Structure 1
Amino acid sequence: MEQINIHQHEESQDDNYGMFVAKYMNPEIYRAAKAGDISGFTRAIEDRQASPFNQVSPQEDTVLHIAAYSGHVPLVELILTHRIDLFSKKNSNGNLPIHAAASSGHLSTVKSLLEFSQRDSEEWRVSALKEVNKNEETALHVALKNHHEKVAEFLFELCPCVSSYPNKEGKSPLCMAAEAGFLGLVKLMTAETVEVVVMDNSMSSSETRSVVHAALRGRNIGVLEAILKKEPKLVYLMDEDGTTALSYAILAGYLDGVHHLLEKFSVTSYQRDGSGNFPIHVASSEGRVDVIREILQRCPDAMELLGKQGRNMLHVAAKNSKVGVVNYILKTPELGKLLNQIDEDGNTPLHLAAIYGHNRSVHALAWDKRVNVNLRNHNGMTALDVVEEQMETEVSFPKRRITWLLLQPSAARKTIRPGLKPESPATSKYRNNMVNTLLLVSILVITVTFSAGFTLPGGYNNSYPHDGMATLVTRLSFQIFLISNTIALYSSIIAAVNLFWAQFADTKLVTGALNISGPLLGVSLIMMSVAFTNGVYLVVSDLNWLANIILVMGSVSLFILLSRALPLFPGYMQLLRCQPPWLMQFVTKFYVGHQKRF
């Protein structure tokens, strides 16, 4: 009984398998259609039980779809001779056999399919060329999508009207041809359809209206010229995102397109996009100084254009941390009126740079004497006030600290304004953690430098009359070591004592202690580095190559340490202002340029 049940179960499985396989095309027929095997296909036709015409693949492709896609003209003609109705049979994606032939780029197959369809009726052929798949794509769309220019030209000549049909993505064949850079096809299409696109509101879909944008995406200046020569009005239309043609070219980084538009249609510099900005603001947000320069050469009053929220191009550059644009504006005297302009919220460019924590822009603006760092926005806050308010959040405090250091020396003393919130618990916790950390560091430095003061390199002299004296006391390196070590020790002791005062709950005491102890610990670490370098150099000075390596490593490390520690000192900014411009630029690039990660 058990064996009989198993046998019956196996027979049931075989039946289900047969039913499942029967849904799909016979493998031999599939291979014959794909390989263009006429003889094998003919044998299949003669076998009525295995007739290939009603069989489909898993994606519901008929044998005509497969033969058309593979480009087998004789087989296509054989199939159509027996079953012309397969010409209008769609697969699961809604594709006709003409779509399949167009997608693979077989022009001879496309012609063969259309010749046979014409035998039935001209209307049937035109209807097939207008038929769309599930992506709302005609055969012309499919050919262009797969970059088959010759097939696309042939299909367009048979049915020109479909060149303005948008697909599911909103792309018309004209836009697709422009994007692909098919100049010849674009010229043919524009002769038929551009006027319709401009004049007929029913054809003004988002992508149909952006043929110029498609040409800019394709980066083909010839296509761009052909479109605008046929219908110049297209240059003023926006795409689906409200982006103008000139702004789009700037965003795409297509400089040839930018130059062409500015040369032929400079008035587009005054065209506001959907977000309220002008092309000069877009160029500023992208950091394109060359584009800004060209716009101002052709339209000098474009500098006065105010975009979104009443912001000029310097506002935009400061907000987006485009230091190249900021420096270009600062170096151009004609643009000086932009430096202290306010937006709808009363913010100057310096305010925006400080709000968004762009330290390089803050640095560049704060150093320029024409920039009024004490201007207040509509909330009554200077740029420094804005930063200090943002420092109340624990997460942003370390980043804002750098911005605060850049602004604080050049700004007037902050006035106390009524209504300010008391220090938040997060800020208080952060300050306490900083005090404890600095106190720990200062104690460690005291311990190390104290020990180094009694374990001198070279040891002590045991001979009279110099008992107990350092043996290397006359060497310059030893003297530098001892002085540096002593400075490091006392600086750390003073910093530690100041930090003891910070243990009280008074916010002013904590702030004062941090402002004093920070620079003192900076001095300690610098001097400790100097002492270490000179001490090691001294004890290996008899081996020149090793001594030189130690000296070079110590010098490089000291230089990096100075670049990090100097901004902690009060008056650092004022000191640099008194130096030659070339020195200021060097320090700016070295120090502020390395603060990007903050």
Structure 2
Amino acid sequence: MSKEEIPYLMFMCSELYIAGLEGRTVEVTRLLAGSSHATTARANAVHPGRCCTTREVAAERSTLLHIAAGQGHCDLITELCLRDSALLSSVNSSLDTPLHYAAREGQADAVETIVRLARCSVEEDRLPELLGGKNDAGDTALHVAARHGHGETVEVLMKLAPELAAEVNGAAVSPLYLAVMSGSVHAVEAIIGYRDACAAGSMLQNALHAAVLQSSEMVPLLLRWRPSLATDLDINKSSPLHFASSDGDCSIIEEILTHAPPSTAYLQDNEGLSALHTAALMGNGPAVRLLLQFYPASAGIRDNHGRSFLHAAALQGHSSIISHVTKDRMLQNLLNQQDREGNTALHLAMEAGEYGVVSKLLSSGKVQVHIMNSAGHTPSDMIEKSTGFYSMVRLVMKLYVYGAQFRPQRQDLIKKWSGQDLVKWRVATSKNLAIVSTLVATVAFSAAFNVPGSYGSDGKANLNRNRMYNAFLVLDTIAVTTAVMATILLVYGRASGSNNSWLGFIISMHFLWLSLLCMMLGFFTAIAATSDRKSTSNALYRVIYAGLYILIMLLTSLAMPGSLRGVLRLLLGRQHHLKRRIKRQYPFVVVYAFNMLLFIIINNIALASVDTTANLR
């Protein structure tokens, strides 16, 4: 019964719909026969002049057979087909047949019943049309069952009509691709049992493209069934190995490399990227090593920009892959290889600000730091494209340590680095630091008049001659003085537009840090002065020392632009020409290095002070 054959307003009465939904075959038979007087009366009240029939429809113009098939009521399906065999080919508003309904809900027995009845009731030449009927999305019953992962239903359909596995729907997608996407291994196994099954998917992908990102269990099944799937390319010319390499599952990559032809590892996408490039871009080190183990010659593949997988890893900052290349003698020829623009991996890492990669490349001792690209830039010249201040400082110091050279250039034409608006950063930071320094000064000032041990009747401190108390007074005085000085310098810096405001800003940060350290030490001495138990003081000492040590180490590691040795070499080194060049283009680098050294010295003095104060106790 086609859509056009359904009479207007021939809608199903409620009793018939409920009975069909619940599979009450006897009641459905009575309603269709009109044997229930009360039911017939109610039906006539809604639809005057008629009784319930098999041609009535529910929502979406679904027949009673659609409802029974979706619920898997095999006895009711048989009864309805015996009464009206035309229901087998009936379609609803979405062009779904009862077979579609049964397949969608995974009713394998219902599917088998419908097909059996169709073979008995439908003419032989119309049977393929019924079994292979497509809805408005172009889906056959097999598509529907595979999409929802109903493995048993797929298996039944494959036994009854295996040729359906070769069909694609309106989106050019095969049942096998849908089965893979559903994650049903059972459904996949059932479909690939048919030799001529189609594996097409969306965007020219095949089932293997989807399987490598879905299930490691499906991949060997598909490869053993049809090894050529490994060489199929999607709309971007990406192979399943590209997909697997981007995900990094080595078991799947190995499975593909084992079954696929050797050419698979050399396939390149629209951008010229191989599977090795893809693994390098994603930082999948084990995948890179596995691909090179199977096909070491694939290391020479270059993309459309003339870049190897090493360039890709350097650009993305994957230092583990760089480390592997520097240790492999067969790959060391890539270290100084240039792309179409003349850039080596070091050029790209410098431009991207990837300090870890730069460090790995330089520490290998095999990278030439003087190579110029097509624009005449050495790796050192790429620092000027860095946008972060801290990144810039680290890169300059690292290259200085390894004696890197800048391109020959008139020194009066050098432009100072302006990758980040440091003036705006300083102004914003000064405002916040001024608030902090004011609060520190206030707290330290208040502590001087709320001394440990309180005051005696003569107005003097009870702990006047206590060494810990005297140490507290000294530390509190330093805290107040340095906090006030920091506040004055910060306020002056915000009000002043001169270059000297930078010097005041830097000094104020040291004063503020010194003030905070003195407050922490002052707290320790105050508690120690008022505590009678030495064990309490010792425990307090351990807590403060450990906390201060962890804080100092954390701040030092976060702010240190490389190693202490590198800082000292920059400050005390003899590469005067290179240092002058750095000062002209990156004037803050030397200043930053000096202040880091000063920061380390202050911190060591603070730790030593904690020890000294504890011994005084």
Tell me whether 568-577 or 27-36 shows the greater mean CA deviation: 568-577
Q: Which of residues 165, 183, 191 in structure 2 aligns to 1:163?
A: 165
Cα distance, 1:469–1:132 mapped onto 2, change above 3 Å: closer
8 Å CA contact 1:410–1:574 kept in 2: the answer is no
Name the structure 1 match of 2:465: 471
Letter in 1 for 2:392: W
- Residue 516 of structure 1 deviates from its aligned partner by 5.4
Could you tell me which residue of structure 1 aligns to residue 185 of structure 2? 181
1:288 is matched with which residue? 284
The equivalent of 2:611 in structure 1 is: none
Which 5+ residue runs of structure 2 have no aligned equivalent?
1-7, 35-48, 570-617
1:84 alignment partner in structure 2? 85
1:407 corresponding residue in structure 2: 395
Alpha-carbon distance in structure 2 between the residues aligned to 1:425 and 1:216:
43
Tell me which of 190, 196, 213 is aligned to 1:192: 196
Code of the aligned partner of 1:401: F
Percent of pairs identical after alignment?
A: 24
2:435 aligned with 1:434:
no
Contact 1:445–1:489, Cα closer than 8 Å, also in 2: no
The reply to whether residue 555 of structure 1 matches residue 545 of structure 2 is: yes
Paired amino acid for 1:310: G
Shift of 1:163: 1.3
User: 1:310 aligns to what SS in structure 2?
Assistant: coil
Which residue of 2 is the match for residue 26 of structure 1? 13
Give, in whole Å, the separation in 1 of the partners of 2:109 and 2:560.
81
Call closer, same or farther: CA 1:135–1:433 in 2, change over 3 Å: same
| Pair 1:114–1:433, CA change in 2 (3 A) | closer
Q: How does 1:541-552 map to 2 (within 5 A)?
A: 541-543=531-533, 546-548=536-538, 550-552=540-542
Report the Cα offset of residue 347 of structure 1.
5.0
Q: Could you tell me how far 1:290 is from its partner in structure 2?
A: 1.5
Q: Distance in 2 between matches of 1:359 and 1:540?
A: 50
Please give the secondary structure, in 1, of the residue aligned with 2:312.
helix
Q: Secondary structure at the match of 2:136?
A: coil
Task: Find the counterpart in structure 1 of residue 174 from structure 2.
Answer: 172
CA separation in 1, counterparts of 2:516 and 2:326? Answer: 35
SS in 2 for 1:306: coil
Which structure 2 residues correspond to residues 278-427 of structure 1 after superposition, within 5 A?
278-307=274-303, 309-329=305-325, 335-339=331-335, 341-345=337-341, 348-349=344-345, 352-353=348-349, 391=387, 400-412=388-400, 418=413
Match of 2:238 among 243, 248, 253: 243
Instruction: Describe the shift of the 1:502–1:309 C-alpha distance in structure 2 as closer, same or farther (beyond 3 A).
Output: farther
Match of 1:56 in 2: 57
SS in 1 for 2:59: coil
> Corresponding residue for 1:260?
255
Per-residue deviation, 1:62:
0.3
| Distance (Å, rounded) in 2 between the aligned partners of 1:434 and 1:166 | 63
Matching residue's letter, 2:140:
T
Counterpart of 2:96 in structure 1 is: 95
Whether the 8 Å CA contact 1:409–1:574 is kept in 2: the answer is no
AA in 2 matched with 1:173: P
Map of 2:599 onto structure 1: none
Q: Partner amino acid for 2:556?
A: L
Deviation at 1:339, TM superposition (A): 4.8
**Cα distance, 1:273–1:361 mapped onto 2, change above 3 Å:** same
CA contact (8 A) 1:498 1:516 kept: no
Secondary structure of 2:193 counterpart: helix
When residues 483 and 570 of structure 1 are mapped into structure 2, their CA distance, relative to the original with a 3 A threshold, is farther
- For 1:69, the equivalent position in structure 2 comes to 70
- Partners of 1:422 and 1:121 lie apart in 2 by 84
Q: Give the TM-score taking structure 1 as reference length.
A: 0.73
| Alpha-carbon shift at residue 99 of structure 1 (Å) | 0.8
Residue 505 of structure 1: aligned partner? 497
Residue 311 of structure 1: CA displacement?
3.3
**Residues 274-328 of structure 1: per-residue CA shift (max 9 Å, x gap):** 3422212222233322111222222233334333533333443344344543454
Please state how far the C-alpha of 1:545 moved relative to its aligned partner: 5.9
Q: What does the per-residue CA deviation read over 1:176-196, in whole Å, with 9 as the maximum and x for residues that have no partner?
A: 34553236424422x2246xx
- How far apart are the structure 2 equivalents of 1:472 and 1:214? 77
Q: Distance in 2 between matches of 1:363 and 1:462?
A: 66
SS in 2 for 1:49: coil
Shift of residue 503, structure 1, vs aligned partner? 5.4
Relative to structure 1, the CA distance from residue 139 to residue 332 in structure 2 (aligned partners, 3 Å threshold; closer, same or farther) is: same
CA distance in 2, matches of 1:361, 1:492: 43
1:491-520 deviations in Å (ceiling 9; x for gaps): 9848965984785535x54555555554x2
Runs of 5+ unmatched residues, structure 1: 1-20, 198-203, 392-399, 580-598
Report the more deviating stretch, 424-433 or 143-152. 424-433
| Cα 1:404/1:491, change in 2 over 3 Å | farther
- Cα distance in 1 for partners of 2:317, 2:203 equals 32
How far apart, CA to CA, are the structure 1 residues paired with 2:394 and 2:16?
78
Alpha carbons of structure 1 residues 567 and 77: separation in structure 2 relative to 1, 3 Å: closer
Q: Cα distance, 1:137 vs. partner? A: 0.8
2: CA distance between counterparts of 1:422 and 1:328? 33
The 5 Å alignment of 1:31-50 reads 31-47=18-34, 49-50=50-51
**Contact kept in structure 2, 1:318 and 1:353, CA below 8 Å:** yes
Distance 1:374 1:533 in 2: 54
CA RMSD of aligned residues (A): 4.5
Aligned residue pairs total 535
The answer to whether the 8 Å contact 1:143/1:152 transfers is yes
Judge conservation of contact 2:31–2:52 (CA < 8 Å) in 1: yes
- Normalised to the residue count of structure 2, the TM-score between the two structures is 0.71
CA deviations on 1:113-138 (whole Å, 9 max, x unpaired) are: 22332332122110122211122110
